[in-house]
């Protein structure tokens, strides 16, 4: 498949000086995009798109308070540009899904991120849930959608939105006991959605060997069984060893490894949306992702034994049943 990047200057306008999730973060991410990649213009979501997953009164409240600069919670800010940027972030993630379905893996390089945003709550730098908005819109015409979140932090907002649904398979691998203190192995969904949420909390210091084990033994088999029409990746690269916001030990090329595993193991169209990633090597990780989308295969040198705690997580998750 071909691949593309979706980006616009609107995403840099949501900005607060000295905040870790500022507009300057995009420059590092964009440095990894190949010079000859196909660029796509950002697309604005409608308010009705947001209201498929967010409560209308919450959307209206964000729109009102974002007339100026303030904090929605201790670490999530808005400015007069934030509501518009958030609409474009959600809409561009939906556009990435549409491009993927048309035969073009697509990466929406958007801000603000989204995976912590719940139906009526903004948190963790996130205003609206970009991946969830895109999934809900896609389900207007598709039968099943999968979301895989490899951000350092658990995508609690995405999980909450689809926790009772059997139309969305949500898989998250993240650092255990980190913000927002959710995403444990026993959180597997409720009602019709029981078994359609798979959480793999990994111990601090985990490496690509641990991630590979989760992908090989749990996530990829689940995706194959679920047979979604498209796979949305909440792509936060803050599990890099040089990212001060976490304690994991991934290298930039490891994100190429994970991307190739999903392509080769599932043969699904991929739509990626940017979540976290704050370290100096973030651009190199983005470069590796694009290389994998374009067909490059990555190998793991000096592969080590997974942590025993990772093996236990995998053993538990392999017993979770759905369908």
Write the CATH number for 213. Answer: 3.40.800.20
pLDDT surpassing 80 at residue 322: no
Where in the sequence is the domain holding 60, given as residue range(s)?
2-317
Q: Is the dihedral of CA 300, 304, 310, 314 positive or negative?
A: positive
Average pLDDT over residues 11-27: 93
∠ Cα 164 220 116 (to 5°)? 45
Tell me what the mean pLDDT of segment 201-225 comes to: 98
pLDDT of residue 304: 87
Catalytic residues: 116
Would residue 166 count as lying in a domain?
Answer: yes
pLDDT of residue 252: 98
303: pLDDT confidence band, cut at 50, 70 and 90? confident
pLDDT of residue 162: 98
Give the pLDDT confidence of 257-266 residue by residue, as tens digits: 999 999 999 9
Per the domain annotation, does 323 fall within a domain?
Answer: no
Rounded Cα gap, residues 151 and 249, in angstroms: 13
pTM: 0.97
Q: What DSSP character marks residue 215? A: I
Dihedral of the alpha carbons of 133, 138, 143, 145, in degrees to the nearest 10: -60
**Does some domain include residue 216?**
yes
pLDDT for the residue numbered 299? 85
On whether residue 209 sits in a domain, the answer given is yes
pLDDT at 34: 96
pLDDT in tens, 74-102: 999 999 999 999 999 999 999 999 999 99
Q: Are strands 76-78 and 104-108 parallel, antiparallel or unpaired?
A: unpaired
Q: pLDDT tens across 99-144, in order? A: 999 999 999 999 999 999 999 999 999 999 999 999 999 999 999 9
Beta bridge partners of 121: 118
The Cα 2–Cα 10 span in angstroms is: 25
C-alpha closest to that of 130 among 102, 154, 152, 161:
161
Q: To the nearest whole percent, how much of the chain has pLDDT over 70? A: 99
At a CB cut-off of 8 Å and minimum separation 6, what does 276 contact?
113, 125, 151, 152, 153, 236, 237, 238, 245
Does a structural domain hold residue 322?
Answer: no
pLDDT tens, position by position, 34-62: 999 999 999 999 999 999 999 999 999 99
**pLDDT given for residue 1 in this prediction:** 67
What total of structural domains would you count in the chain? 1
């Amino acid at each position: 498949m071909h691949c593309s990047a979706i980006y616009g200057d609107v995403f840099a306008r949501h900005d607060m000086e000295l905040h870790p999730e500022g507009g300057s973060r995009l420059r590092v991410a964009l440095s990894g995009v190949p010079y000859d990649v196909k660029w796509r213009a950002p697309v604005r979501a409608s308010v009705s798109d947001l209201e498929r997953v967010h409560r209308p009164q919450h959307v209206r409240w964000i729109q009102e308070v974002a007339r100026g600069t303030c904090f929605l919670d201790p670490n999530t800010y808005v400015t007069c540009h934030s509501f518009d940027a958030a609409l474009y972030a959600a809409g561009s993630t939906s556009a990435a899904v549409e491009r993927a379905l048309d035969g073009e893996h697509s990466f929406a390089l958007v801000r603000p991120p989204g995976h912590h945003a719940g139906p009526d709550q903004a948190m963790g730098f996130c205003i609206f849930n970009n991946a969830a908005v895109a999934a809900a819109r896609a389900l207007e015409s598709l039968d099943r959608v999968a979301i895989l979140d490899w951000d350092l932090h658990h995508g609690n907002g995405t999980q909450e939105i689809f926790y009772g649904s059997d139309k969305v398979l949500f898989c998250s691998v993240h650092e255990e006991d980190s913000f927002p203190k959710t995403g444990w192995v026993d959180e597997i969904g409720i009602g019709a959605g029981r078994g359609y949420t798979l959480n793999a909390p990994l111990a601090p210091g985990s490496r690509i060997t641990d991630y590979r084990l989760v992908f090989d033994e749990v996530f990829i088999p689940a995706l194959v069984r679920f047979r979604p029409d498209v796979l949305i990746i909440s792509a936060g690269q803050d599990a890099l060893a040089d990212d001060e916001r976490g304690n994991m030990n991934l290298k930039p090329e490891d994100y190429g490894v994970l991307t190739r595993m999903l392509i080769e193991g599932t043969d699904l169209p991929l739509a990626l949306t940017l979540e976290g990633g704050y370290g100096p090597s973030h651009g190199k990780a983005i470069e590796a992702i694009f290389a994998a989308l374009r067909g490059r295969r990555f190998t793991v040198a000096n592969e080590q034994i997974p942590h025993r705690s990772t093996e236990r997580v995998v053993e538990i998750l392999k017993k979770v049943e759905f369908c």
